Amino acid sequence: GKRPTLFSAYARAANRYGFQTTKFAPFKKHENMVFHVNAKGESGDVPAASVQNGAAEYIVQVKIGTPGVTLNLDFDTGSSDLWVWSSELTRVSTRGHNIYNPSKSKTASKQSRSTWNISYGDGSSASGNVYLDTVTIGGVAVPKQAVELAQKMSAQFASGEGSDGLLGLAWPAINTVSPKPVKTPVQNMIDQKLIAKPLFTVKLDRGDNAGFYSFGEIDTSVTPNPITYTPVDNSEGFWMVPSTSYQLNGTTIERSDNTAILDTGTTLALIDDDAVSAIYGAIQGAKFDQNQGGWMYPASSAVPSLAFAIGDTMYTLNAADFPYGEAEDGYVFGGVQSRGTNPFDILGDIFLKSVYVVFNQGESTVGLAQRDD
C-alpha cells in the first residue's frame, strides 16, 4: 500500500482536537484485532479483518441489527459517538464499505427527534439521524443501543478506506447527539449489567500480531507486571490522567500540572514542545522537517530510552515503536511529535502498544501495566 505520511497522521490529530501546530505537524494502523469479551461469565473472541492501507487504525468487527450486518469499526477511546456508514448515504460514497440499513433489521427503531453532527478542526464533518438497535460486540448483545447513521459526510471521510464507522469509548459528555446525548455501548453494558465488571481493557500489538479489546474482564495473562490504577479526570469527556514527568535516558524531567489523555484513535504520541525538543536533541542527526511538519532522524541513529509518568508510575515506551515510518532517504519519522497548542498530551497507539490498559468506567480510573513483549 501507499506509504503513510507523517502529515496525514499529524493533521488527523490536529483536526481532531482543533489545535494549531506550533513548529510541527497524526495517523493509525489497521491490525488484526481479536475480541475477548466476558459477558456474564461467557467469553467470546472475534477476529478482526486485517486491512492494509495508507492510514493506520485498529479495526474491530461489530454486528448491528437483527439478523444483523457486520461492520468494521474503528474503536476510539478519544470520542463517544457510535456512527456508521449507512443506507442513507449516496451509493458513490459507500463504495467499498459495509453499510447499516435499518430497514433490514427487525430490531431497529428510529429516534425521530434525534440528530448528530461531528465536525473536526479541518472542516471535515459527518452528520445524520439516530436509530436504536441491537449491537453485538464479541458475543455481548447490547439491546436498544443508539446507532448514529451517516446521511452526509465531507469528502475527507468519503474517500477513506478501511473502517465502516467509529465506536467511541470515551465518556458521554462528548457525545454529539442532540437534543439529548446518548450512552456509549460500554455505558449500556454496565447499566444493563451485561458484563461482569464495569470496565474494558485494551491490548494493542505491533505488526501482524492480534491485539484485543476485552469487555467486563481483565486478562491477567497479558503481563506478569502489576496493574497500577490512577484516578481519571473525565470532566472534558476524555480518559485524562496526570502525567507530570518523563524520563529521557534515565534522567527525570518534571512537568508540573501536565495531563495526558489515553487515545486509541490517535496513532502518534503528542507531547509538549519542550519535551519533544529534548527527545530529538538526544538523537544523533535528528532534524525538524518544515515540509512534513515533524521531526525525523537517521535510521542508523540510536533511539533514547523514554518513559512517561501516568499518575505516580513511569511506563517505558518500547524502542521498537518509536519510529513511525520512513521519511526521505535514510531517515525515519519519530512516533513522538508535538501537541502544538493543545493543552494536554495525547498518548496514542505509539505509546499504548507498550502497556496493557484497563479503562475502569465504574470507578473512573485507568490501570496500566508495563508490557515486556
> What residues contact residue 90 under an 8 Å CB cut-off, 6+ apart?
none
* Contact status, residue 38 vs residue 215, Cβ threshold 8 Å: yes
For residue 156, the one-letter residue type is Q
Element (H, E) at 245: strand 245-248
The catalytic residues are 76, 263
- Kindly calculate the radius of gyration of the chain based on its CA atoms and give it in whole angstroms: 20
> What does the alpha-carbon distance between residue 268 and residue 290 come to, in Å, rounded to a whole number?
18
C-alpha cell at 109: 427503531
Which residue from 258, 233, 225, 243 is spatially nearest to 313, judged by alpha carbons? 243
> What does the alpha-carbon distance between residue 182 and residue 148 come to, in Å, rounded to a whole number?
10
* Contact status, residue 132 vs residue 147, Cβ threshold 8 Å: yes
Phi, psi of 10 (to 5 degrees): -75, -40
**Strand pairing class (109-119; 199-203):** unpaired
Which residue from 2, 7, 34 is spatially nearest to 204, judged by alpha carbons? 34
